[in-house]
Chains A and B, each alone.
Chain A
């Protein structure tokens, strides 16, 4: 991140330019994460690029969401990001490990069953869990967990954020009702960027 942001400024220097070339490949992922994805259009070119961006989004969501204080043990306890099911990120996710969000470290954990999820703040539900989706969402209802999915209808069915791809770009849906139910405060800015969806169950009720 450091190099990334300073380099354009100092790019005038050939030496630094050379240095930049060398280190670029090593830290490119970290850079993507920090920048929040340079171009969403890369997503379509390859699956790895798509998850690069999604990983960055996951990290950035944390910045625009506020958890209730009681969801943390204390001020120093980490923000836990869990991946449920088959991990599509691979090593990509590890690069955002140990980053801090509002003073809290980001802790990453992978699990296969919803029962293993404990003390989680952000839960990424992998596409592999499509079948268990309802079960998972029911289990997490009223649990202060920001659920993020990449399955169509995830948000409508009780998830809070869902990645979608429109016009060959990665976007996301947000279900503010579910967020409110989970006592999570989502920044209006984030909401502004999202496709707002409402719960199907609620519609049914209405």
Chain B
């Protein structure tokens, strides 16, 4: 029921509420009226009956006193004129029926003995002394029973009993019931008609609001506003609704704006991203191109130098043969010319060899493997023993580690550096060279002049070794510290310090291939220290 009520339209609800209220109130009012009337009627009945009993009782005193039953029955016989009296009896003091009247003689009504009635007699004058016979009335089984004392000269000489039917009361009740029913029906009809019109006072604005709400939510049009029709709570509701709509509209606009902005930003970002990607791709392409051209160049250099060696050897061999055979047989100028040619050819051969070595670093490298640096150093010293012996060089070293490296290239590296150190000696002073190695973690970068690129490279190598080759040679001016690693760059006169200008370039290339860095710390006249790093992992670089 409650469920049903919950789901029906507010219009019906209002009608129902009004109807229900009116009907219930009407019913209660009718009931109250009827009950009141019945009560009044009942008490009037009791009063009438009581009066009748009084009269009858008074008229029966003599008959009772003088024990004249006939006379008493005559007196009671007058009750024929009162149709609602069913039976009447006069009792003597000792509860004997003295006289009796029955409306319907064929069907003797109940004329209870007084002691019988005693039990079913809650009402009446309950006097405390038991000797006084009780009088009173009771409604039971559709009858009104009434007992009245018959008093003579302040003595109770008997009791009068009257039994009246409730036909009058019942017909009155029927009549009232009918009236109430008719009134209820008519009133319900009126209430229904009234409620039909009155409910719209409440329901119309609500339905209007609901309709507007539906429109708003269907069309997503937050610009709609409801018109204010009243200044009651519904008006407040309308205002609240409008305000809410306004807020939603504001937020909607702000949201749309933010969305547009966001979209624009996303687009920009996308654009930027594509651009960056393109640039990256371009860069990669360029890098690839560069690497390819580099490789081509190396290949070219290798091929060129390799192929150049053959004709050059021929030139050199024949020029040397020519010099040996025709020395002193031509004039002095010719000897000089021949010497120049031999010298040039020799230099050219060295250059080409150097170039070949340089190009081989990139193209003919070997796989990295654990390499004992002590062993490498030993091999270098062995290779260089002629030069060492010539110059009286003293070479010392700290314990050296085993690293992941291409051992041929590592040998080349050490050899070039030691060779350089021997070559660039100060005057005739015998070179003193010291080689050491430290884990990178223990190595502090002392030289402030070390450029930042190098510094980051070193600090990035968390696990690896820093090797150093220290000499007491002529040293290098700091401004040239970078230039010395560039191929064919020479700082000194060829006559004083012969060389191709390739050695350090090869060193740099080898170190870089091993993922390390190489640099020099020096001051002119104070010797130089070459440092290079080799990562422990041995990251192979192309």
Contact = CB atoms under 8 A, between A and B. Distances in A.
A101 B156 CA distance: 14
A60 interface: yes
B133 A9 contact: yes
B71 A5 contact: no
A64 interface: yes
A190 B58 CA distance: 12
B19 to A, nearest CB: 59
Interface size band for B = 20 to 34
B61 A36 contact: no
Given A8-B94, A192-B62, A193-B62, A34 B131 contact: no
Contact of A57 (B59, B66, B155): B66
B64 A36 contact: yes
B61 A189 contact: yes
Nearest to A192: B71
Interface centre among A1, A4, A102, A192 (most CB of B within 10 A): A192
Contact of A6 (B67, B131, B157): B131
A174 B64 CA distance: 18
A36 B65 contact: yes
Given A8-B94, A9-B115, A35-B93, A189 B59 contact: yes
B250 to A, nearest CB: 95
A37 B67 CA distance: 7
Interface string A29-49: 000001111111000000000
A4 B66 contact: no
B131 A193 contact: no
Interface centre among A10, A57, A63 (most CB of B within 10 A): A63
A190 B93 contact: no
Contacts of A35: 92-94, 157
A2 interface: yes
Contact of A2 (B67, B68, B118, B131): B131
B93 A5 contact: yes
B63 A193 contact: yes
B444 interface: no
A142 interface: no
Interface of B: 59, 61-68, 71, 92-95, 114-115, 118, 130-131, 133, 152-153, 155-157
Closest 7 CB pairs of A and B: A189-B62, A6-B131, A36-B65, A8-B94, A60-B65, A5-B93, A193-B68
